[in-house]
Structure 1
């Protein structure tokens, strides 16, 4: 009864808009008052869990993403993509997808990706007469690609919580991420096939000269993911060291190459990242304490018993686990949703033969899709603010992208293990 009451209180607090750390703090108070548990006994668990060098990569990637945004490092990438595909019907929206994938892989934040790429691309899309609702919906649907395209802060958290290899978790989401990019572009082209009002961007005659100029200008920005991913997969740097290199690289590029950073904007970037990092760490501590209590009460075993009482068919079990993860992701952000669901659901999927690295990819796709799925859909409402498009115009196209792009990716990732496991086995054995 205490567990059920705690879950009801948690869901209620999240639905009415209480922030995630305070909602989990309320659950801890409830456990201490009505459950007879000494909540102080659980506090060292939260402190011990977050006091690790692995998690240092997350604030560093957050800072790198903010410096990219403030330093205008993403703009040359967008300009190059616009030139390459601007003469194709639907090309600008496809460029938005690729830009979201690249920026999201560095920042590791769907919200930061949506804010940066949405702010840059939406004026271009309006000028080219792309439908506002569909354009905003595609930006919303593409922003969670940062959860899948490595290096992903979410996968670092998953590897840390489940004691898996960070590199294997990174590699497990590459193919699902590429599948999602491809499906989003295909659905986008299909939706725009009969729209004859679109303005094509670019001049064919000046293309070679423009291509050379924009490519040269984009080289410093393109080198950032090359250095980071090359360092990680080449065995030169750990993810934490790569995150530090990303910050060090972004500072001079933002100041002296693209001139987006000033001393004031740099200080503001540090303040913004400090606030974001503080929120993430407090949230992680609270969620981990509640998760520890649930494990202490053998909730994973109870959930496993309930699911297997319905059916022991692996397909049915995985469908129910996916449904639970989608519901969790609809109520929470990706970080708190992962920290809560990973330790609770991993024993269940392992019992039907799913590898923990495979589950990393399934969890990443689930949380990304859930964050844009109504009725809660925090990224959907953020997208409406960033793009200045009413939610009712975004809602319909977003559901199309969910049904025709995100759901097929989830099904393939869940029921075709090679989608997640082929690349880690190929490169790491």
Structure 2
């Protein structure tokens, strides 16, 4: 256990001083191999072998597809559609932002893409309507995490791969928590906007004008809305696997970006390809060292030590789940959703099985808790990304973030943890969980 704590301490220190996360894990792996006197020549081949997986082929294509749609101008028609539905009430543009992040999450599968695509459009638009820039930045920071919950979700692909669960079941497990979070965020936004006197509200439209505007916005957004239908409908309809769905999404996104929304150019496509390749390369390096670390933890029976340690503190399932949630939030505070999923899932899975938590419910527990950590300092990657895009200091938007996390994200995480049907209803309905 001392070796584990020291390795985690090395990761935290290296991340805090700005070392890339893959190399932070490399430092921890070097320590572990020396501490336990292990042969790297035996560990590295096994890690390389584990990365040879058809499931992992979906990751680069989903990342590429998300970036294509982000650069292709898809955010604007989605925002316009949401605005026709809920935009003409007090606080309506905040609700538009929340819904737009959910819609974009159903396309990109990552929070960072939602921050970049939705934030660059909505922050200036909401500022013109009287919303403080800091408030809007805080709202986009939290709402973007819906990209991790609304399928297709990249972290859920990784969870399914590392725990050998169905990707489709893990996708469905976070739908219930994601919808609940949308409702809570929209309600909290409405409450907070009542205290902002500068907000301007657009004139109400008559029923005929409203229907006409909604129909026009829906037609314009139809090609964007087809993407999640294509991905999820194809997967759950049995037309293709998640890996094939990712490739179809990428192929669909290119002509849509070029000729429908016309935000994509050859230069942007080339840069998007390079950026996606760089991101994927960094993830693969991170995979390798995390898998080596996981292999060392398994050899040293660290997961079993964690099980025994927590059961020695309490055998009450409620207490154990609360401690697991705190651990996951701390992990999310220190690293991004991808690395957090890879490190937390194998460490806590034996404990979850021991206390009778279904693996698919555990997928949703991991997703909701890591979403909280991603907006909580010290590392908080999504929080700082939102601040850069919004052009504000953290002091200007930390208050709305704290309100949304405390009264929105945290209740959803607790409901997901202690109300199994919230995450298991849809997988059971679709026949993935019995």
What TM-score, normalized to structure 2? 0.96
Deviation of 1:75 after TM superposition, in Å, equals: 1.3
In 2, Cα distance between the equivalents of 1:399 and 1:284?
32
Whether contact under 8 Å (1:14, 1:331) holds in the other structure is yes
Q: Does 1:379 align with 2:382?
A: yes
* Count of aligned pairs: 429
The corresponding residue for 1:233 is: 236
In 2, Cα distance between the equivalents of 1:240 and 1:265?
25
The corresponding residue for 2:129 is: 128
Whether contact under 8 Å (1:137, 1:397) holds in the other structure is yes
Kindly provide the CA deviation profile for residues 196-255 of structure 1, in whole angstroms up to 9, marking residues without a partner as x: 431123662654443332222111111111111111111111111111111111011111
The answer for unaligned runs of 5 or more in structure 2 is none
In 2, Cα distance between the equivalents of 1:121 and 1:58?
28
Q: Does 1:257 align with 2:260?
A: yes
Whether contact under 8 Å (2:90, 2:201) holds in the other structure is yes
Q: Does 1:393 align with 2:391?
A: no
1:318 corresponds to which of 308, 316, 321? 321
Whether contact under 8 Å (1:284, 1:335) holds in the other structure is no
The corresponding residue for 1:142 is: 143
Kindly provide the CA deviation profile for residues 349-374 of structure 1, in whole angstroms up to 9, marking residues without a partner as x: 11111010110000000111110012
In 2, Cα distance between the equivalents of 1:229 and 1:78?
21
Whether contact under 8 Å (2:364, 2:416) holds in the other structure is yes
- Map 1:350-389 onto structure 2 (within 5 A): 350-389=353-392
Whether contact under 8 Å (2:65, 2:250) holds in the other structure is yes
The corresponding residue for 2:14 is: 13
The corresponding residue for 2:4 is: 3
Alignment CA distance shift 1:248-1:167 (3 Å): same
Whether contact under 8 Å (1:358, 1:420) holds in the other structure is yes
Partner of 2:18, secondary structure, is: coil
The corresponding residue for 2:89 is: 88
The corresponding residue for 2:272 is: 269
The corresponding residue for 2:305 is: 302
Whether contact under 8 Å (2:32, 2:296) holds in the other structure is no
What TM-score, normalized to structure 1? 0.97
In 2, Cα distance between the equivalents of 1:165 and 1:209?
42
In 2, Cα distance between the equivalents of 1:375 and 1:289?
26
2:250 corresponds to which of 242, 247, 251? 247
Partner of 1:42, secondary structure, is: helix
Kindly provide the CA deviation profile for residues 43-71 of structure 1, in whole angstroms up to 9, marking residues without a partner as x: 12221121111111111111111111111
Whether contact under 8 Å (1:83, 1:211) holds in the other structure is yes
Whether contact under 8 Å (2:87, 2:95) holds in the other structure is no
Partner of 1:354, secondary structure, is: coil
